[in-house]
Structure 1
C-alpha cells in the first residue's frame, strides 16, 4: 500500500484523519482499513473476510472510492456520509425555496454536491398572488443559492458545488442561458433541459412557445434560442445541455421522475435521492502484453459493488428524506479512471475506431459484472424496496436500481497514479509546471517518456516536444508513438463525442466528460457538437473552448517574462514619496489580517506592502516581517509574480487547515502566506486592468475559482470540473 508523491499529497491534504491541531494522525494503510472495516461491519457474517477483500482492492489501487467516502467514512469526528451526488426539489413558494436552501447546507456540510431543476419556479415579473407583488424569478433564486454556497464548505474540503437546470420551454430561459456570461454564479454549473419536442421544432425551423403553468408568455425562434445557447457556451463554457426526455426514457423506476442530475451531470436522480461513487482503475487491468485482465476486472467489480452497496446501510444521512429515498432505490455509481492509460498500454489511439471499441468492451464488461453482482446480492440480502415499481419487476431481481456511472475523478485519479482522468484523454504529453523552489520546468507524461526511451528518442527531440506541448508533427517522434500519445487538445471534437457515445451505451446513468475545443472554435462548431450528441444518444454534453475562461496550465512555451528593470545586483530602490493604496481584509486560522498594497496610479505597478493583524488575533511579528520582506524584494527588482510563487509554496498551517475543516470562512489558501499571495495576485491583475486596460475590475471569486486550494497552481478543465495537474485536486 504505497501512493505516489502526488497521491500522498492529496491523501494528506484531503482525506487523512487529523487531530484537534490539524496534525495528520493516519497513514494511507490505516485509512484503507478504516473504510474497509466500516463497509464490512454491516455484513451478517464473514465480516473479517469482507474487510480483507475490500482492503485488498482499495489498498492495491484497483478500486478507488470517491472523495466523501475517504473524507467521512469511519472517522470518529465526522458523520459517515458517503454520498457525492444529491438532487433536491425546489417548489414555487418562499417556504420551499428557503427550506431547500437549508437542506442544501446540510448536504454541503456532509460533503455532497446538489442538483436542482428550477422549472417549477415562476418567471421573473410574474404575479405573486399572496402579496400581489412580482416574482424575482429563477436567476435571482440561483444567485441566492450561489451566494449561500460560499458560506458552507463541502465536508470541510471545498466550496459547495451545484447544478442548476432549467427546461428549454421556461419563460425565463433566455436570462438563464446568459446568467454566467458576466462571470457570476461561480459555484454553479448550469444546463438547459432540452426536450425531444424542442429538437423537432429546431429541425423544422419552428417557433418555440415559452410556457409556465399552461400559460404561453411568448414564442421565440427555436433556431435563435439554440444559437443563443451555443454563443453562451462559446463565451464562458456554460450552459451545458441535458437531454431531459432521455433521462426519463431510461429511468429504472419510472414512477419517480428524473429531470435533474448532480453538479457534473453524470448522475440523474429523483428529488431526495443520493448516490455514492467509486472508480475502477483501468490502468491496473492491462497485462504486460497489452491484453485486458478480465479475471482481475471481474473480481474487482464484484467486490467494489458490494462495498458501495454496504455503505448505503452504514451511512449516516444529512436528512431523513434523503435516507428514505436513497435506500428505496439503492443506486450506486461504479465508474472508471485511467481509460487513456489502458488504451496506451494496449497500443490503441484514443481517437481511433479500435480504441473506442476496446473502451466499449471494457465498459460493457464492467456493467455486466456489476449487474450480475447486484443480482447475487438481491438473492442474498433482498431487492431494493422500490423493485416492484421498477422496470426489472418481476423477472430480474436486483439489489440496486442502477450501478454504473462515469464520474469526475480528479483527486482519486491522483491517488491511483493514473494520467488520464476518468474517461478523458491525458491533458497533454508535456506542459509547464510552476514551482516555488526550482522555478518553471517542463513536465512530461511518464507513459510518453517510457515509450520514447524504447524508441531511442533523443533529448533534442524531447526539448522540441516540450516547446510545442505536443508530439504531433514533431520530427524524430515515431509515427506509432505520435498516433497513441495525443492530448485532449490534439483530439478532434468529433472523436471526443464518439468516445463518450461508445461508453454511454453501457452506462445506465450518465457520463461526465468535457469536449475540449481549440480557442479558434466558433459557436457553429458548438452547435454541431450538441446536435451530434443528441443524434448519438447521449444524455448530456459539456463543451469547453480553450481560453473562454482564464486559467489552465501552459501547454508549450508561450510565456512572457515580467520585466523587472535593470537594477544592479544588490541595488534597492528607495521607498516611494507618494503612492496610491488598496487595503483588503483576509480571514485566517488565527484571526483577521489586513493587507495594504501601495502602487503607482499611472502604471499599476506594485511598490510595497503593509500587513497588520486585526483585534481577534494573529502573529503581529510574523505579518510585519512578511510585509517588510515583500516590499524589500519588490524594490530590489524581484517581480511580484516571483514573490507570489514563494509565498504560495509555504507549508500548510495547522490553525488554518483546522479552521477550514470546522467550516469557518477562511480566505482561500492553506496558510497566511498563501492567502497573502492569492490576494496579491488578484490585486496585481486588477491593477493591470484598471491602469492599463480601462476601468474593468476582475471578479475575485471568478479568479479564485481557477486556483488550486491545495497547492496554488492554476486549474484546467476536465470532466466538467477544474482539475489541478500538479496535485490532483478537483473543483466542480
Structure 2
C-alpha cells in the first residue's frame, strides 16, 4: 500500500460492521470491510490522476465521502444487519462517483469492473443457476433445496403483463445473490434487489419490484392472521374476502382498531375488494406503505393494500346512515387511485384514536401563561400527527415594557427557540418529527432578528434550526417597496390593533402610528427604507430557505370568513388560510384528486368522472370533521363551527405529459386555469349539496358565500383595496357559474372553505404520480428516504423516447451523465427537450403564472415551490414581486441552484432558468440540478406534516 493510502482517512473500525457480510460471486460470504471500498476507489483515482493524486485533500475527501455513502446505504437498507452482494456494493460506488461529479474516475471504475468480469467469465467463474449442486435454503431451522419451480413462478407472476421486462434475467441474477443456507425469508428480497437494478433501463421493473414485495407482504399478513403461510396473487381472489374479517377481529383484539368496525357488513365489504388493484403500485409507493402506514403488531404488518384502503374507507364512513354502501364508494375512489386522503387520515382512520386532520393554525397571545399554553397545544397537536402554523405577531418585541415586572421584554425569538425544541422532542406519533412554522408580520420590531433564525452562525441561543418561518406581509409594505418609501417597525404592545386590520383599514391606522412616532407619542420603533428590508428578506430566503413569503391581505380580503375573524397566518405548508383567535385553533382536513386519472387519452378532461370523484372526496373530507379526535378543545370548537376542508390535486405534471403540453408554455397556464376551474365548480357544488342534506355550517350567514361572492368574484375585493396598478390577476372563466350561484343562494354551504392545494409529498409517491403542482425535478435520479434508496425514472420520457426509437443503453448512460437532463443530448428532438425540461430548466415565471390562474378559483391557497437556477438578487426580486402582482396568496420553498452547479452544462442558446417578465416563451436551456433540495417532500422524511 502506498504512503498516500496509509495516510488516507479511515472509516470506523471494521468490527463496527460485524453484523454485515458480503456475498461474493461464488455464493460464499466474507465479513464486510469498508477499507476494501477505499482501496478500490483509490485505485480508480490512481488510474486517472496518478499516484500523486491521492495526496490531494480534494481526492481524499471524495474517497471518504464515497465510503460514507456506501456505508450509509447499507445501514439504511439493513438496519439490523445482513448480507449484501458484492455487485450491489460496486453499483453504489459507481453511483456515488457519478453523484460527486467524478465522471472520469467512474469510467475508470466501470472499465475495471468489466475487465475483471471478463476474466471471471474466461476462467469459468460466473455462476450458472442451473448447474452444480442444488441451492439449500434454511426454513424453520431445517435446510432444504430451493424450489426452483416456485421461485421461477414467483418471478413470472411479477412480470406478467408488463412490457420489456426479462423474467429469466431476474431469475438468473437473483440466484447469484443467494448462498448456501440462506434464510428462506431472504429469497424474495434477493429477487427485489435484482429487479430494482433494472429500473433505470425500464420503468416497468418498478412494478416488478412492487409485485415481488407483495409476495412478502401476503406471507407476513396472512400468516399472522392464521389464513395461509403463503399465497399467490391468484389466491387473493378468494383470500382477500377471508382476510378482511380476520384482520378486523385481530386489530380490535390488539386494541389497534376501533371496535365500531366490527359492526360493518364485513362479508359484503370483503366481496368488494379488488385484488388486481394491488398490481397498480410502483415499488416506492408500496414500500412506503409497508414501512410507515400499514397497521402492525410489533414488527409484523398484518394489513394488506386493499384492506388498508378499506380500513380508511370504513373509518370515514363510520357515521354514515348507509355505512356499508358509503365505505364501498370511498374504497373505490381510493383503490382506483383517483383520490387520496392526507397522511394523518391514512395513518389513523378506523383506529381507536382517529386524529385525521392535517393542519392546525394558532395565534399566540402576549402573556406568559398564553405563550406556554400555546406551546403545550403545539405538543399535544404534534403528538397526533398534525402540522402546525403559529401566529406570533401579538407577542411584544425586544425592549418593550413589561408592566407586571417593570422590566423589558426579550422579544419573540427566545420563545421560538422553545417552540423549535418542542417540535423535535414531541414527534408525530413516533412516525416523523414534529413540524411547525412560525409567522410574523413584516412591521414587527423583531422581524430582522426573525429573519436570521435559521442561520448557522451567530448566537445559537437565538437560532431555531429545526422549525420553519414565514413572513406575513401586508400589501402596504409591497407598495412601499415598489414606490421606494420608508417602512416603520413597531412593537405590537404599542400598536395592538394592526394585528387584526387588513387592506385600507390597516393602511389608515399604520400611517397614524407613523405620525405618532414623528410627534413623540410612540418611542419604540425603527424606520428603514422598505427596499432595504425587502433585500434582507430575499437574501436570507436564498441563504437559509426562510422565512417564506406570504401575503396577508390577499389571504384576508378574499377569505369567505372575513365576517367572523381574521386570517393571521397560514399553516406549515402555506396552503391553509383560516381564521384564528385565542379561542379558536383553525383545523384543516386535506385530500387530493389525482388529476392524471381524469385526463382522457386525447388530453381532454373526463369531466363526468372528475365530478363523481370530487363529490365523493368532499363528502369524505366533511366526514372527517365529525369523526376526528381533537387533542385540544379550541380545535374542536373551531372545526365544528366553520367546517373547513381543503380539496387539492396532484399529478399535475403527469397530466401535462399525458396531454402533450410543456410546463413552460401558455398552454400549460391555460390547462392549470381550466382544470382548477372545473375542480372548483364541482367542489363548491358538492359542498352546497351537502348543506342541503346535512345543514349549513354554523357561521354561514354573512359570509362571502351568503353574499353570493364566489372565489372568482373575490378578486374584485382585493383589487378595490390595492388598486388596479398592483393587481394583474386574470378573471377569465369558461364555465357557466350562474346556476351554481343560485344553488348556493338556495342551499348555502356545508363548509366555510373547500379547496387548498397541499404538497402531497408522500401520498403522491404512494400513488406513483408527480407531487401536487410540482414540475419534474429530474428525469432520472435516486430518491433516498426512510425506506431506502429508489431509482426514479420518468416513464413518460422513456415511452416518448421509445416511440422515437431512441431508448437504449447509451441513452440511459447519457441521462446518468447529465444528471437526468435531456437538454444536451443531441439526438433528442427539440419538442421532447421542451416537454421534458426539468424544474431548474424553466423560467419561474411559468410557475407563478400557473399558480395565479389556479389561485383565482381557490378559497384558500396552494403550496407553490419556486425553482430558480443561478439565483441572484434580481431574479428573486422579479419573481416574488410578480407573485404579489399576480394575486398569489402564499409561496412556499425557494429551491435555488447556485451558478457553480448550473455552470457545468449551460448551453449557448439562452440563460439557464432566466426570469422573464414578458409574454414570450422561454428558451429551453440545460442544467445539471444540485442534490434534491431538502424540502417538504419524501426526500426529507422529517417534513411531511401536511401529506
TM range (shorter): 0.7 to 0.9
1:454 to 803, 806, 818: 803
- Map 1:36-115; keep pairs closer than 5 Å: 36-43=313-320, 45-76=321-352, 79-115=353-389
Structure showing the higher strand proportion among its residues:
1
Q: Is the CA contact 2:330–2:616 (under 8 Å) kept in the aligned structure 1?
A: yes
**Worse-superposed segment, 144-153 or 213-222:** 213-222
| 2-structure distance, mates of 1:729, 1:317 | 22
Partner residue of 1:522?
Answer: 872
Structure 1 residue 463 corresponds to structure 2 residue 678: no
2:293 to 15, 22, 42: 15
**What residue ranges of structure 2 are gaps of 5+ in the alignment?**
1-276, 458-462, 496-521, 708-744, 907-929
Across the aligned residues of Structure 1 and Structure 2, the Cα RMSD in angstroms comes to 2.7
Q: Report the CA distance between 1:548 and its aligned residue.
A: 7.5
Change (3 A) 1:174 1:349: same
Provide the secondary structure at the position in 1 that maps to 2:527: strand
Q: Report the CA distance between 1:432 and its aligned residue.
A: 4.4
Provide the secondary structure at the position in 1 that maps to 2:776: coil
Change (3 A) 1:103 1:299: same
| 2-structure distance, mates of 1:86, 1:227 | 31
1:200 to 471, 474, 479: 479
Q: Is the CA contact 1:232–1:239 (under 8 Å) kept in the aligned structure 2?
A: yes
Partner residue of 2:675?
Answer: 362
| 2-structure distance, mates of 1:201, 1:301 | 42
Partner residue of 2:410?
Answer: 136
Structure showing the higher helix proportion among its residues:
2
Q: Is the CA contact 1:716–1:723 (under 8 Å) kept in the aligned structure 2?
A: no
Q: Deviations over 1:387-427 (max 9, x none)?
A: 11422226360001111111011110011111x21000111
Partner residue of 1:246?
Answer: 554
Partner residue of 2:932?
Answer: 716
Partner residue of 1:590?
Answer: none
| 1-structure distance, mates of 2:903, 2:482 | 39
Partner residue of 1:488?
Answer: 839
Change (3 A) 1:556 1:283: farther
Q: Is the CA contact 1:237–1:548 (under 8 Å) kept in the aligned structure 2?
A: no
Q: Deviations over 1:43-94 (max 9, x none)?
A: 2x32222111100000111101000001111113xx2111111111211111
Partner residue of 1:33?
Answer: 310
Q: Is the CA contact 2:364–2:392 (under 8 Å) kept in the aligned structure 1?
A: yes
Partner residue of 2:112?
Answer: none
Partner residue of 2:541?
Answer: 233
1:538 to 885, 888, 905: 888
Partner residue of 1:576?
Answer: none
1:510 to 853, 858, 861: 861
Q: Is the CA contact 1:195–1:244 (under 8 Å) kept in the aligned structure 2?
A: yes
Partner residue of 1:407?
Answer: 758
| 2-structure distance, mates of 1:435, 1:198 | 40
| 1-structure distance, mates of 2:303, 2:690 | 32
| 2-structure distance, mates of 1:197, 1:547 | 31
The total of aligned residue pairs comes to 566
TM-score by length of 2: 0.57
Q: Is the CA contact 2:782–2:789 (under 8 Å) kept in the aligned structure 1?
A: yes
Q: Is the CA contact 1:514–1:717 (under 8 Å) kept in the aligned structure 2?
A: no
Change (3 A) 1:29 1:432: closer
| 2-structure distance, mates of 1:330, 1:515 | 31
Partner residue of 2:513?
Answer: none
Q: Is the CA contact 2:630–2:636 (under 8 Å) kept in the aligned structure 1?
A: yes
| 2-structure distance, mates of 1:717, 1:173 | 26
Q: Is the CA contact 1:466–1:556 (under 8 Å) kept in the aligned structure 2?
A: no
Q: Report the CA distance between 1:327 and its aligned residue.
A: 1.3
Change (3 A) 1:101 1:131: same
Q: Report the CA distance between 1:269 and its aligned residue.
A: 1.9
Q: Deviations over 1:351-405 (max 9, x none)?
A: 1101111121111101100000011000000001111142222636000111111
Q: Report the CA distance between 1:730 and its aligned residue.
A: 4.0
TM-score by length of 1: 0.74
- Map 1:138-287; keep pairs closer than 5 Å: 138-182=412-456, 184-212=463-491, 213-214=494-495, 215=522, 216-254=524-562, 255-271=564-580, 272-287=585-600
Partner residue of 1:695?
Answer: none
| 2-structure distance, mates of 1:440, 1:300 | 33
Q: Is the CA contact 2:759–2:937 (under 8 Å) kept in the aligned structure 1?
A: no
Change (3 A) 1:442 1:120: closer
Partner residue of 2:631?
Answer: 318
Change (3 A) 1:103 1:407: same
Q: Report the CA distance between 1:203 and its aligned residue.
A: 2.0
Change (3 A) 1:493 1:430: same
**Worse-superposed segment, 134-143 or 408-417:** 134-143
| 2-structure distance, mates of 1:729, 1:11 | 17
Q: Report the CA distance between 1:463 and its aligned residue.
A: 2.3
Change (3 A) 1:171 1:293: same
Provide the secondary structure at the position in 2 that maps to 1:159: coil
Q: Deviations over 1:255-302 (max 9, x none)?
A: 221011111110012221100100101121122222221111110011
1:306 to 604, 619, 622: 619
Q: Report the CA distance between 1:528 and its aligned residue.
A: 1.2
Change (3 A) 1:156 1:544: same
| 2-structure distance, mates of 1:149, 1:17 | 25
Q: Is the CA contact 1:715–1:722 (under 8 Å) kept in the aligned structure 2?
A: no
Change (3 A) 1:6 1:209: same
Q: Deviations over 1:512-537 (max 9, x none)?
A: 0210112x211221111110001000
Provide the secondary structure at the position in 1 that maps to 2:528: strand
Q: Report the CA distance between 1:4 and its aligned residue.
A: 2.1
Partner residue of 1:382?
Answer: 695
Provide the secondary structure at the position in 2 that maps to 1:546: strand
Look at both structures and tell me which one has the larger radius of gyration over its CA atoms. 2
Q: Deviations over 1:627-685 (max 9, x none)?
A: xxxxxxxxxxxxxxxxxxxxxxxxxxxxxxxxxxxxxxxxxxxxxxxxxxxxxxxxxxx
Partner residue of 1:499?
Answer: 850
Q: Is the CA contact 2:775–2:839 (under 8 Å) kept in the aligned structure 1?
A: yes
Q: Deviations over 1:542-596 (max 9, x none)?
A: 352435899x9x99999xxxxxxxxxxxxxxxxxxxxxxxxxxxxxxxxxxxxxx
| 2-structure distance, mates of 1:451, 1:443 | 16
**Worse-superposed segment, 139-148 or 203-212:** 203-212
Provide the secondary structure at the position in 1 that maps to 2:471: strand
Provide the secondary structure at the position in 2 that maps to 1:242: strand
| 1-structure distance, mates of 2:526, 2:687 | 48
1:428 to 774, 778, 783: 778
Change (3 A) 1:285 1:544: same
| 2-structure distance, mates of 1:515, 1:385 | 37
Provide the secondary structure at the position in 1 that maps to 2:398: coil
Change (3 A) 1:522 1:190: same
